[in-house]
Structure 1
Amino acid sequence: MGSAEYTTERTPYIYHHSSLHRLLLDLLASAGIEVNGSHPWDIQLHASGVPERIFAEGSLGLGESYVAGAWDAERPDELICRLLQARLHEKVRPSRLIFHALKARWLNRQTSKRAWQVGEVHYDLGNDFYAAMLDPRMTYTCGYWHNATTLEQAQEAKLDLVCRKLGLKPGMRVLDIGCGWGSFMSYAAEHYGVECVGVTISREQAEWARQRYPGLPLEFRLQDYRDLNEPFDRIVSIGMFEHVGHKNYRTYMEVAHRCLKEQGLFLLHTIGKNLRRPHTDPWIDKYIFPNGELPSIGQIGDAVDNLFVVEDLHNFGADYDQTLMAWHANFEQAWPGFRDELGERFYRMWRYYLLACAGAFRAREIQLWQWVLAKGGVDQGYRRVS
């Protein structure tokens, strides 16, 4: 299996109508989903135990049983979108996940020591793998599709949007918190004449970026954001705040505040959730982004109290659906070259990750925000660019 010829044609599992099976059928029917139906979003059941896992473990059981091959769907993105739009996740509240929720609420899972784990587990998978899935600059965040038709255009449009929102000028010194493979830094240096310092917790990212951009005024550091204490004209953070955790939001904003010069601007680009609760999807937490957590608008607002003026807040979360689908198309096309190295289980896990996230953005269950923050506010007001 793998490549663009993915198929769900397997022998359907003939299930017995236990009470859990009947309850699952009823819940799915309320979302317009059938078991072994003919629609692209219908679940094709291949093994027993799937209803039991879903009711016992919620999204964790749903994702793990998919990766194990117990069920399929031609369009998992559409399946997840329909599940979320029907609010079925609110009707299935597994008791086994209470401990997970309590850990997220009370423990600091993003300490200085634990912060490096996501780099090792996720971002250090291999630069060749990400190069095959992403755009040429290796931009692993939401593109801006307003006037774009390709992934590369959408990512460059996003990078330029950030530069214009920050009002970059030649000679400015810019800090990129969570710089990834240096896509923003390289674009800003090439097109706006700035010099940049970027920090990341991924060794693979830092080394790749140093080799890719030797001639630009860029410095890539393997460093935790909490250790920063030097002045910058502008600060940007694109797709890193999702790894900070609610216990550290205020600390994060205090670091940005002490590093930003007076009259400076700080742009925060982050995925966000609609509800204020310290809870992350257990499947994503276990297999994709360990210790991650999405903020709410209220949580970010609390964190910036008396530190920054919120000059602008822009939501283009619907664009992440299109970005993820473009990544998925690239992943499918490139998969034959990685099949022997990474294997069938990784293929199913990564396919589920990309498409489930696309479905969540499509359902508007999660968002993508760009915040423009200023110390003391912009004189005579901030003028949004688009």
Structure 2
Amino acid sequence: MDMKVSQSPFLSESNSTHRLMVDLLAEADIRIGGDRPWDMQLNNTGVPERVFAGGSLGLGESYMDGDWDVPALDEFFYRIMKANLEQRVRPSTVVWQAIKSRFLNRQTLSRSRRVGEQHYDLGNDFYAAMLDGRMTYTCGYWRDAETLDQAQEAKLDLICRKLQLEPGMRILDIGCGWGSFMAYAAEHYGVECVGVTISREQVAWAKARYPHLPLEFRLQDYREVEEQFDRIVSVGMFEHVGHRNYRTFMEVAHRCLKDEGLFLLHTIGKNERKPYSDPWIDRYIFPNGELPSIGQVGDAADNLFVVEDLHNFGRDYDRTLMAWHANFEANWPRFANELGPRFYRMWRYYLQSCAGLFRARDIQLWQWVLSKGGTPDVFPRIS
């Protein structure tokens, strides 16, 4: 280990902060200056100081600035999470994030549109180059799939079968994205769909793509929906709701679901209740986002819904993210001049770090099937 440290001109063995970083990374079998794909290469001074002062935010921003590199960021973060190193670094940024989350509703009607403007409105061409042919920006289902398109269609069909869709049903899609589920359900199961999203880019793209299908796309917050539907689905939107609004979200779904209906909630989740989101993800990727724990989802559904089924296929998100990353890398030359090198490093960090977290099982992917009063002998075990 000492030999590897001395190979980096940007690391001082006599500096206690530098030594602490070396020792912590060694617990995850990561070397500074090593020659393995997950080893850290320092390109500038001050990285250990930024990491211990800013935690996740300092680590991510120093990477975006080009101060350090790791060829395989996904494996780097997998090792960090398996060694629980994030528990050893608790900077003031985490404390401030927890305070904000505890005392502020960061997902009010006025604030909810920020993530649409910052993240989802990056440009339809950009997402089309990264995602599958249907523009599905959620976890694929890889059990019998070989390609990203196959995995996404398998996920969409799984949802349709869990909801027991029948021709003529009217479906509400909360957080409909670019309409991949709605279009698939209409094409294969003969249903009508209403989708709500806070992204103008998504609404414009979906309306232009599917004028021939019985689909309605609305630029609307979920809290503003009033009418009832035979089925409700929400795929990858609950992560933007926030713990102060979980109960409200479930009340809206309960209000809008017919008594005999089913509601499928597809969401990323975390293993414990934490009063804050990752500071780097919050600032650069998903502003005001928050991952629920399994208990928080259950609390929000109390006395409103019966849990008919709960399915975890979080491991599949690792493979999905790495497929998105491969597409991103392959198509980056088309966007390099417009978005620039700092965006490239930010997006690469986002996709591969999240893949590492799913690989380490630090975060999960759940599909909940809920009913208003229970459906004995109706909901099948199909997952």
Residues 133-282 of structure 1 mapped to structure 2, 5 A cutoff: 133-282=130-279
Residue aligned with 1:189, SS: helix
Code of the residue aligned with 2:373 in structure 1: it is G
TM (normalized to structure 2)? 0.97
Code of the residue aligned with 1:166 in structure 2: it is L
Code of the residue aligned with 1:16 in structure 2: it is S
How far apart, CA to CA, are the structure 2 residues paired with 1:212 and 1:76?
35
How far apart are residue 381 of structure 1 and its match? 5.3
> What residue number does 1:33 align with?
30
Residue aligned with 1:125, SS: coil
Asked if 1:371 is matched to 2:379, the reply is no
How far apart, CA to CA, are the structure 2 residues paired with 1:358 and 1:166?
28
Residue aligned with 1:269, SS: strand
Q: Which runs of 5+ in 1 are unaligned?
A: 1-10
Poorly superposed stretches of 4+, deviation over 4 Å: none
How far apart, CA to CA, are the structure 2 residues paired with 1:354 and 1:308?
34
How far apart are residue 384 of structure 1 and its match? 1.7
> What residue number does 2:3 align with?
none
Q: Which is further off, 339-348 or 92-101?
A: 92-101
Q: Which is further off, 227-236 or 89-98?
A: 89-98
> What residue number does 1:64 align with?
61
> What residue number does 1:327 align with?
324
How far apart are residue 379 of structure 1 and its match? 2.7
How far apart are residue 277 of structure 1 and its match? 1.7
Residue aligned with 1:113, SS: helix
How far apart, CA to CA, are the structure 2 residues paired with 1:157 and 1:15?
48
The answer to whether the Cα contact below 8 Å between 2:94 and 2:276 also exists between their aligned partners in 1 is: no
Code of the residue aligned with 1:250 in structure 2: it is R
Structure 2 counterpart of 1:24, from 12, 21, 26: 21
How far apart, CA to CA, are the structure 2 residues paired with 1:233 and 1:12?
62
How far apart, CA to CA, are the structure 1 residues paired with 2:129 and 2:20?
42
How far apart, CA to CA, are the structure 1 residues paired with 2:246 and 2:22?
41
Residues 80-95 of structure 1 mapped to structure 2, 5 A cutoff: 80-95=77-92
How far apart, CA to CA, are the structure 2 residues paired with 1:96 and 1:262?
45
Structure 2 counterpart of 1:361, from 355, 358, 374: 358
How far apart, CA to CA, are the structure 2 residues paired with 1:101 and 1:335?
35
> What residue number does 2:70 align with?
73
1:141-175 deviation digits (Å, cap 9, x = unpaired)? 00000000000000000000000000000000000
Q: Which runs of 5+ in 2 are unaligned?
A: 1-6
**Cα gap change, 1:13/1:129 in structure 2, threshold over 3 Å: closer, same or farther?**
farther
How far apart, CA to CA, are the structure 2 residues paired with 1:205 and 1:224?
14
> What residue number does 1:7 align with?
none
TM (normalized to structure 1)? 0.96
The answer to whether the Cα contact below 8 Å between 2:8 and 2:32 also exists between their aligned partners in 1 is: no
Give RMSD over aligned pairs: 0.9
How far apart, CA to CA, are the structure 2 residues paired with 1:263 and 1:56?
53
Code of the residue aligned with 1:344 in structure 2: it is P
Amino-acid identity (%)? 72
The answer to whether the Cα contact below 8 Å between 2:162 and 2:379 also exists between their aligned partners in 1 is: no
How far apart, CA to CA, are the structure 2 residues paired with 1:178 and 1:142?
15
